Amino acid sequence: MNPVIRPRRLRATPAMRRLVAETRIHPAQLILPLFVREDIAEPAPIGSMPGVVQHTLDSVKQAVQDAAAAGIGGVMLFGIPAGRDAIGSGATDPAGILNRATRVVAAEAGDALVVQTDLCLDEFTDHGHCGVLDAHGTVDNDATLERYRGMALAQAEAGSQLLGLSGMMDGQVAAVREALDAAGRTDTAILAYAAKYASAFYGPFREAVDSQLTGDRRTYQQDPANRIEGLREAALDEAEGADVLMVKPAMSYLDVLADVAAVAQVPVWAYQVSGEYAMIEAAAANGWIDRGRAIRESVTGILRAGAGAVLTYWALELASDPDSAA
């Protein structure tokens, strides 16, 4: 048997494989999440996320400089306050840690990076939920929207260029867009975490933001069993005025990501979450997998599924040598 068609010809050498690669990792497609904590004097390592730290207002400046030098697309900021209350007052306080950090990062980044901020109450509430609770202890969707409006204005005033609406409240995009436009902030863009699932892979993130959550978020984040629902949520957010749509987590939801990317008329991104990061780092530390290849394969898979950009804790590492081990 002598086959005429031999696909292996295009896999014969590293140069050939690089030439015909259908998916590439470019630094501009990478976004680095950054944690800034109020009550620390020096960067604090996050035990479940090796290599990731909670920054001070001072140390985050160097992280932003490194991100700009690497040519990545942007940074996503999360704030960790020293104190919390039932309505997350620190989220709308101009002196709150996230808004202060945003001003610092915006000044440091200039035009080199897109400064993005997490617009959600969970880091700021003493109950750890993403919204305001009613008398029965249930998240009150519409009361939460009012808090989100205030957060949007505070973050835009601090210098955020892209607001990451991650709370999964019904109508959140429309509410924030209306508030921004009414205040003359028509140029502030919205990143809608449109298909955000109630995932077990957020575990290390809870440590990163010192979450106070008890219970779960299954009444507002999506059921991992549902695929069509992800499309519905994305379509609603796009219709309400979202500038970018997000699928989160990434690796376990590549089908949802591909679905959304196939129909959306705006950019679609994905978040490679803390649990995805921690699993690869832990397996590599035990010598079970090739760390570098696993990192690149995981992000390549997310891009191949349709993401235009990826939030990943490996953004700087990948930007420094995106095609190694190709």
Active site residues: 196, 248
The Cβ-side half-sphere exposure at 38, using a 13 Å CA radius, reads: 18
Reading the block at residue 137, the tokens are: 């202890």
Is the preceding peptide bond at 249 cis, omega within 30 degrees of 0?
yes
DSSP 137-148: S-B-HHHHHHHH
Single-letter residue type at 13: T
Question: To which H or E segment does residue 319 belong?
Answer: helix 315-320
DSSP 13-55: SHHHHHHH-S----GGGEEEEEEEESS-SS-EE-TTSTT-EEE
- Inter-residue contact 90 to 99 (CB < 8 Å): no
Helix (H, G, I), strand (E, B) or coil at 76: strand
Categorise residue 88: left if φ over 0, alpha if ψ from -120 to 50, beta otherwise.
left
3-state helix, strand, coil in the chain (%, to 5): 40, 15, 40
Pairing of strands 30-37, 74-80: parallel
